[in-house]
Amino acid sequence: MITALCGGVGGAKLVHGLYHHQPDSLCVIVNTADDLEFCGLHISPDLDTVTYTLADLSRRDVGWGLEGDTFQALQMLSRYGVATWFKVGDQDMATHVYRTTQLQQGLTLTEIARAISRGLGVTARILPMCDQRVATRLHAHGEWLDFQDYFVRRHYQDTIDEVRYEGVEEARVTEPVLEAIAAAEALVVVNSNPVLSILPILAVPGVAEALSKAKVPRIAVSPIIGSRAISGPAADLMRLCGREASALGVARLYAGVVDGLVVDVQDAADQSAIEALGIRTLVTKIVMQTVADRTRLAGEILKFAGRLR
Amino acid sequence: MITALCGGVGGAKLVHGLYHHQPDSLCVIVNTADDLEFCGLHISPDLDTVTYTLADLSRRDVGWGLEGDTFQALQMLSRYGVATWFKVGDQDMATHVYRTTQLQQGLTLTEIARAISRGLGVTARILPMCDQRVATRLHAHGEWLDFQDYFVRRHYQDTIDEVRYEGVEEARVTEPVLEAIAAAEALVVVNSNPVLSILPILAVPGVAEALSKAKVPRIAVSPIIGSRAISGPAADLMRLCGREASALGVARLYAGVVDGLVVDVQDAADQSAIEALGIRTLVTKIVMQTVADRTRLAGEILKFAGRLR
């Protein structure tokens, strides 16, 4: 069993690569601090992105949503005056309607994620980081923004000076997450945005402790190449938590959490400084443009884990 | 102002004809005893059919749903194990999502129906019969069936021996319905199924009383031609309330409620027996196959109302 920690679009690509190698023995712990309510529906964007990606249903152009999905419902909602900047397709809406109903009937997010992934034929176990509501909020020029407002509506243009994971102190690690960590032969923190996707998972009481007890290789993949994020606002947000936007900065951020870091060939110069932190390195090409790239990188990570074992 | 009492598909055609003549002075009181919950969404099929029909958005083949609507969400829900015999299109689902959210926020069905019809550019006032939940249930071979189960899933094949409008005693007439009745120059009970669409409206405490006080022409249109319903199970259900399935049976059912009845040319022989009940008759072609038929019949009804005034 391999267990991965993951956010949305970028990280889902690597999870997809891992799934290729481990279709029946992969577990993914997914950030849910981006969850939102849209028109009364509970949306879990990262859970959905991971599930759709593993089900080979995700859009090939942007990574979110479903390939070939239509937007008839959203257009109709706009006629009723609903703000429609969060783009929910028709098939996607079914997922949200289903999740919302099941939550109302008292099922947990964990149980519902399992039903959805089974419904879509995914054999990996996809787990929300917790069953409680946690909300990433970002402070910019004197006001607190909701995550999707910052990320989707405002295209992460605001300069953020503080991040909170609201509700995370009241959240608690689930039994399936603890089991997924305990049963893993290797733990992979994928190349998701550390501040927006990975730190919220690590902030759920019980998760970091379980990871620290794991006696198996724990490997992160850098989301930074040179001084820039592969995609999104990861570089700027790294600086916010006092780390430089570089492979070495990522190593310092994850020190104590991981034993190995996968960095890009462009960052080979950071290798000795990272190893000086007690973190072993794998230097390879980490940009995934094709499905073959995902499979190749995932395969290298699994071999790297073998060497660390 | 003309005020009509209406159910779903069949009746909506005539309401559409009335709307052609009275685009800014038509009020429609609509049955909501067919309302159902589907996957956590509150669906008001008759309200939606009337609204979509007046907005010229309804399907031309079957009368329910929206022309050109797709079923992507429903197909996705079926992958999650949701029963999908109730056919909700993608655009249609937006209406249900919107209504459900607004209800959760404390708005009334009346307020929401107004927002939906305005959103779709309908200038007629479309009113649910009440704001409380009423549910038509049908007793067949020892069990009680929900309305949509009987009507949609089982295609009204069961022989019904009892009908109930559950919750109707606790319902109450709304102010807008009272105003629509009081302000009308004529009241039209359209050709909807009496037992399934019109009697539930009349059963809402306060509605029948308001109609009986109205000093304006009150005209019904027969849903029966010969001994058969124009569509649906109206004929069988007429017998259930002790009335024969005929124009005369309709007249006896509505005696005391209406002053005039529009019957088909095939039922001209019933004319004198109907008039003997104190109900004036208009004999004309009442099947509406084309939009022109709707407009023509509605025009004749408005002239008939003028003669009764």
Q: Predicted confidence band at B10 (pLDDT cuts at 50, 70, 90)?
A: confident
The answer for residues whose C-beta is within 8 angstroms of residue A253's C-beta and 6 or more apart is A194, A238, A241, A243
**pLDDT confidence of residue B1:** 96
Do residues A66 and A58 touch, judged by C-beta distance below 8 A? yes
The whole-number average pLDDT for the span A242-248 is: 93
Burial track B99-118 (b if 16+ CB lie within 10 A, e otherwise): bbbbbeeebbbbebbbebbe
Residues in chain B: 309
B40: DSSP letter: T
A188 confidence band (pLDDT: 50, 70, 90): very high
CB of A1 within 8 Å of any CB in chain B?
no
HSE-CB of B156 using CA atoms within 13 angstroms: 12
Pairwise CA distance, residues A282 & A265, whole Å:
9
Pairing assessment for the beta strands A135-140 and A160-166 based on DSSP bridges: antiparallel
Q: How far is B218 from chain A (nearest CA, A)?
A: 34
Which are the contacts of A54, defined by CB distance < 8 A and separation ≥ 6?
A12, A15, A16, A19, A117, A122, A124, A126
Query: What integer pLDDT is reported at residue A10 of this predicted model?
Result: 87
Q: Tell me the C-alpha distance between B18 and B299, whole Å.
A: 7
Residue B198 to residue B34: CA distance in whole angstroms: 12
Give the containing element (helix H, strand E) for A146: strand A143-146
Is pLDDT of A6 > 90?
Answer: yes
Confidence bin at A160 (pLDDT 50/70/90): very high
Written as six digits, the tokens of A250 are: 């990522």
Please, which pLDDT band fits residue B104 given cuts at 50, 70 and 90? very high
Instruction: Give the mean pLDDT of A156-185.
Output: 96
Q: Do B42 and B103 form a contact (C-beta atoms < 8 A)?
A: yes
Give the per-residue pLDDT at B297: 98
pLDDT per residue as tens digits for the range A213-241: 999 999 999 999 999 988 889 888 998 88
pTM check: above 0.90: yes
Q: Cβ–Cβ of A77/B70 closer than 8 Å?
A: no
Q: Which helix (H) or strand (E) holds A295?
A: helix A291-308
Residues 61-90 of A with CB under 8 A from B: 69-70, 72-77, 79-82, 89-90
Tens-place pLDDT, residues A42-83: 999 999 999 999 999 999 888 789 999 999 999 999 999 999
* Residues of chain A found within 8 Å of residue B82, distances taken between Cβ atoms: 98
pLDDT of residue B63: 78
- State pLDDT tens for residues B187-224: 999 999 999 999 999 999 999 999 999 999 999 999 99
- For A113, the closest chain B residue by CA position comes to B80
Residue of A76, A87, A114, A117 to mutate, interface with B, max B Cβ within 10 Å: A76
Predicted pLDDT at A279: 98
pLDDT at B108 over 90: yes
SS (H, E, C) A234-266: HHHHHHHCCCCCCHHHHHHHHECCECEEEEEHH
Tell me the helix, strand and coil percentages in chain B, rounded to 5: 45, 20, 35
pLDDT for the residue B282 = 98
CB contact under 8 A, A93 and B73: yes
Residue B230 has pLDDT above 90, yes or no: no
Q: Is residue B60 scored above 90 in pLDDT? A: no
* Conformational region of residue A141, where left means phi above 0, alpha means psi within -120 to 50, and beta covers everything else: left
pLDDT by residue (tens digit) across B232-247?
A: 898 889 988 889 999 9
Total count of residues recorded for chain A: 309
Which residues does residue A165 pair with via DSSP β-bridges, in sequence order? Answer: A136
- The residue with tokens 């479903």 is A66
Inter-chain CB pairs, A–B, below 8 Å = 93
| Secondary structure class of B264 (helix, strand, coil) | strand
Chain B: give the shortest CA distance to residue A19, in Å: 21
CA-atom Rg of chain B in angstroms: 18
With CB atoms and an 8 Å threshold, state whether B98 touches A80.
yes
* Non-local CB neighbours of B69 within 8 Å, separated by 6+ positions: A72, B59, B89, B90, B91, B92
Mean pLDDT throughout B118-131? 98
The answer, yes or no, to whether residue B134 has pLDDT greater than 90, is yes
Tokens of B309: 């005034």
Per-residue pLDDT, averaged over B250-256, amounts to 95
Nearest alpha carbon to residue B228 among B241, B244, B249, B245: B245
pLDDT of A250: 96
Distance separating alpha carbons of residues B297 and B16, to the nearest angstrom = 11
Alpha-helical segments (H) within chain B: 9-21, 45-54, 72-79, 90-104, 109-119, 147-148, 175-182, 199-203, 207-213, 234-240, 247-254, 271-275, 291-308
- A119 Cα to chain B: minimum distance (Å): 5
* Per-residue pLDDT, A30: 98
Residues with Cβ within 8 Å of B149's Cβ and at least 6 positions away in sequence, in order, are: none
Torsion of CA B184, B189, B190, B195, to 10 degrees: 150
Could you identify the residue written with the tokens 């307020």? B111
Instruction: Convert the pLDDT of each residue in B145-171 to its tens digit.
Output: 999 999 999 899 999 999 999 999 999
Q: List residues bridging with B4 in a β-sheet.
A: B28, B188
Cβ pair B3, B188 in contact under 8 A: yes
**Mean pLDDT to the nearest integer, A11-35:** 97
Mutate to test the interface with A, among B56, B74, B84, B90 (most CBs of A within 10 A): B90
Would the CB atoms of A94 and B81 count as touching at under 8 Å? no
Helices and strands in chain A: count of H runs, count of E runs = 13, 14
Confidence check on the interface: ipTM exceeds 0.90, yes or no: yes
Nearest to B3 by CA among B13, B197, B19: B19
Contact B90 A72 (CB under 8 A): yes
Under 8 Å between Cβ of B190 and B15 = yes
Q: pLDDT averaged over chain B?
A: 96
Q: Which chain A residue has its CA at the smallest distance from B114's CA? A: A80
User: Which token pair is B52?
Assistant: 């979509």
Long-range contacts of B277-284 (CB under 8 A, 24+ apart): B277/B251, B277/B252, B279/B251, B279/B254, B279/B255, B280/B304, B280/B307, B280/B308, B282/B219
Give B62's pLDDT tier (boundaries 50, 70, 90).
confident
Rounded to an integer, what distance in angstroms lies between the CA atom of residue A30 and that of residue A200? 10
* B295-301: average pLDDT: 98
> What's the 3-state SS for B142-155?
CEEEEHHHHHHHCC
- The tokens of B131 are what? 């704001």
B58 touches chain A (CB under 8 A): no
CA distance from start to end of chain B: 14
